[in-house]
Chains A and B, each alone.
Chain A
Amino acid sequence: MNALRLPRSPKVLLGAGILLFFIIMTVIGPLLAPDDPSATSFAPNLTPSAHHWLGTTSLGQDIFSQLLVGARATMVVALLAGLVATVLSMTIGITAGYFGGVSDDGLTLLSNVFLALPGLPLLIVIDSYLPVGSRSNAFVIGLIISLTGWAWGARVLRAQTMSLRNRDFVEAARIIGEKRYRIMFSEIAPNLLPILASSLLFTVLYSIGAYVTLAYIGLTSTSVWNWGTMLYWAQSNNAPLSGEWYWFVPPGICIALVGTGLALLNFGIDEFINPRLRAAGLTSRQRRALGLPRRVRLGLTPVLRTGATKKTVSAPSRAVSP
C-alpha cells in the first residue's frame, strides 16, 4: 500500500476499511463463533434474538455461527484463486509481452480463447465431472476457478510489458547482460505493480463470485461452510419465500460488501495509474471557503473572489549564489 502511495480518497479508505474488517473476520471468525455451525442442537426456525443473533435454520443450526465460520472458506478460496490466477496472468502476460514473436502470438491466442469462453459455465462443466471428494476440497475448487480467471490480467499485463520493454532501464539491463528471467521479474515486474494489484483485486472479486455461485448451485461440498452453501441451504429450504430474511440476506450482504471493498480499493489503484481520475486539488470545504464552484466546468476556469484570503506568494528561501 505504501509502495503504491494510493491516493487517500474517502473511497479508498472505505474500501480498505471494509476489507480489513473481513480479513479479521476470516482470521478470528471461527474462534468467535458461539456454536458449532453444523450442530442441529437448537429449536428450528428461530427468529433473531439475543441468543441467536441471526436466528436458526430449519435444522436448528445457529446462523450467526455459520456466517462467522463461513467467512474463512469463502475468503481463503477467493484469495487463493485470485493469487494463483494473478501468478498465471503475470507469467503469461509478461512472457508474451517481453518475448514477442511466436510465443507472444501463441500466448495471446490462448488468453483470447479463455476470454471468449464463458467462465462460469465452463467451471460448472468441469466441476460437474469432479468426484464428490474433490468438490469438498477447497484447494481443488480454488485452482479450477483460477484456471478460468487469469486471461484478463494476462492481456492487460502483456500490453503494459510491451510498452516497458523498450524503456531505457530495460535496455540497459539487457546490455549489461542480465539474464532474461531476471530482467522480466526484477526489472519489469516491479513497474507493473499497480496493474498487478488491480488485476489481483479483480481476480479475487471474480473468484469470490465464482466460488459462491458454485456453492449456491450445490456444486461444492454442502458440508463445507461458506457463504455460498449458506445461500444454498436457505434456498433449498425456501427461506426467501417463507420470509426468513435473516437466513439468506446476511451471507449475500457479506459477499457484496467484500466485493465493494475490493472495487473501492481498485478505484484508488485506477487513480494511481491514471492521474486524470484523481480529484483535482481542493477538498470541497476549501472550495466553499474560497467561493469556488464545487465542480470545475471544462472551459470555465474558476476565478478566485477578490474578497477571499489572498496569500502573497510565499518564497521559501533557496540560498543560491550566482
Chain B
Amino acid sequence: MSIKRLDPAPMDEERDSPRLVMPPTTRSEFVLDVKNFSVDYGTGDQMVRAVNDVSLTLRRSTVLGVAGESGSGKSTFVYAMTRLLRAPGLISGGTVNLHTTTKGEIGEEVLDLVTASEKELRKIRWSHVAIVLQSALSALDPVVRIAREFDEVLKTHRPEMSKKQRRERAEALLATVGLNEDRLDRFPHELSGGQRQRVMIALALALDPELVIMDEPTTALDVVTQREIINELQDLRSRFDFAMIFITHDLSLLVELADEIVVMYAGSIVERAPANELYEAPRHPYTLGLLNSFPPMHGARQELTGIPGSPPDLSNLPIGCKFHPRCSYAMARCVHDEPPLVSVGDTGRSVACWLHVEGAERPVPVELSRRVTSSNTSDTGGGAS
C-alpha cells in the first residue's frame, strides 16, 4: 500500500508537496525498495557512472550485505540512496522507496527518497534511517561531548522528551553497547577506537530506526575489536528490530552477518544470493575471487588466491562484461556483450554472467557451481541453465 507523490516537486525547494494520503491498512514486507537506481559523478565529457541501474529490495528486520572492492560503487550507492552523496555526485535515475511505519499504527507510508524535499528527508533521517560510518573518529564532532551527540538527536526528533529523559535514554543506549555512562561526558578523542564505534552504534539506535546503514564500520578497527563489534551487532539485532545494510569488502564477514548478499562490480550488481548459498556456491567469477581474498572467520583454512588485476577505473571501463579483463573464465562473448542480471535457480538468486546463460560456449566450471571442496560436481549444475 503505497502513498505516492502526484508529481515530483522541484528538488531544491523547501516545501512539502501535497501528498496523496490514503488510509493505510497494511504494511509491505519491505522496508526499502530500490528500482533502476543510477548515480553519476559529473556530467558531459567528464561523466562517470558510479552506480548503474541497481534494483534491490530489503525485507524488514533482515540484513543485506553489499560487497565489492573499492570503486565498485557500494558506498556511492548507499550515500546517494539517502541523498547524502556529496558533489559532484548526482542521481541520474531510479526510485528509492522507503516504507516507514509509526508505532501504534497499522499501515505504512512510502516516501521516494529521490524526489523527497529537504524537509521530508530531514524528518525520516535518523528516526527511520540511521548511518554508521567507517571512521567514528571523523564522524563525531571533535569539540563536542558524547552526551551532546545523543541529546541533539533526541531533542530534534523527540521534542517531547525532557532533559533528564534524554540523559537517561543516552545512558541506557550506552549500556546496551556495553559502555559505562561516564563515557557520555568524554570527548571523542578521549575514547578508544572500539569505544567510539560503539558510541556510533548506540547513537544509530537512539530513535529505534527501521533501517541502519553500516558503511564498513569495522574496517578501521583491529581484528579483536572487529570481532567484538560484530558479536555486539548480532546481539543488538535480536533485541532491536531493525533492518540493516552492511557494506564491506570482506565477504567472509558478511556471510556470517547477512541474510542476503549483493556483490557489486564497477557500479553494477553482478550477483545476488542468500548469504549461505553465496558462500557455498558462488556463481560469479568475481564473487569467487572475493571469497578467496579473505580467510573465512570460521572453518577450514583455504588458500587465498585473490583476484588478478586492479579494481576497475570507472572513467575507462571495458566494453562487454566489465569484469572480463580480470576474469579467468572470459569467453569471446564477454568481450562484446554485457551480461544482464538474470535469476538462476529457485531461491531468488541472480547473477550477471554469460557462463550461467543457456547455450554458453563452455560449461560452468566446477568451482562456480559448488565451491566447498567436495569432489562431487555433477549434482549441482543448476546455475548453468
| Contact pick for B43, options A290, A300, A301, CB 8 Å | A290
Task: Give the number of residues in B that approach A within 8 Å (Cβ atoms).
Answer: 39
A125 to chain B, nearest CB (A): 40
Q: Which residue of the partner chain B has the closest CB to A295?
A: B12
Query: Contact between A315 and B319 (Cβ–Cβ < 8 Å)?
Result: yes
| Contact pick for A303, options B49, B115, B324, B330, CB 8 Å | B115
The 0/1 profile, CB within 8 Å of B marked 1, for residues 289-318 of chain A is: 010110011111111101000110101111
| Contact pick for B83, options A293, A301, A306, A310, CB 8 Å | A301
A238: interface (CB < 8 Å): no
| Contact pick for B42, options A281, A316, A317, CB 8 Å | A281
B114: interface (CB < 8 Å): yes
Query: Contact between A300 and B317 (Cβ–Cβ < 8 Å)?
Result: no
Q: Which residue of the partner chain B has the closest CB to A280?
A: B87
A39: interface (CB < 8 Å): no
Query: Contact between A301 and B90 (Cβ–Cβ < 8 Å)?
Result: yes
A322: interface (CB < 8 Å): yes
Contacts of B85 in A (CB 8 A): 301
Query: Contact between B43 and A286 (Cβ–Cβ < 8 Å)?
Result: yes
A282: interface (CB < 8 Å): yes
B11: interface (CB < 8 Å): yes
CA distance A299 to B44 in the complex (A): 23
B179: interface (CB < 8 Å): no
The 0/1 profile, CB within 8 Å of B marked 1, for residues 265-302 of chain A is: 00000000000000011100010001011001111111
CA distance A304 to B39 in the complex (A): 9
A116: interface (CB < 8 Å): no
Query: Contact between A300 and B319 (Cβ–Cβ < 8 Å)?
Result: no
A277 to chain B, nearest CB (A): 13
CA distance A197 to B25 in the complex (A): 67
CA distance A297 to B83 in the complex (A): 10
Query: Contact between B87 and A320 (Cβ–Cβ < 8 Å)?
Result: no
Contacts of A299 in B (CB 8 A): 83-84, 118, 121, 125
Q: Which residue of the partner chain B has the closest CB to A276?
A: B86
Query: Contact between B91 and A281 (Cβ–Cβ < 8 Å)?
Result: no
CA distance A209 to B84 in the complex (A): 45
B88: interface (CB < 8 Å): yes
Contacts of B319 in A (CB 8 A): 315, 317
List chain A positions with a Cβ less than 8 A from chain B. 280-282, 286, 290, 292-293, 296-304, 306, 310-311, 313, 315-318, 320, 322
List chain B positions with a Cβ less than 8 A from chain A. 11-12, 40-44, 46-47, 49, 52, 79-80, 83-93, 114-115, 118, 121, 125, 316-319, 324-325, 327-328, 330, 334
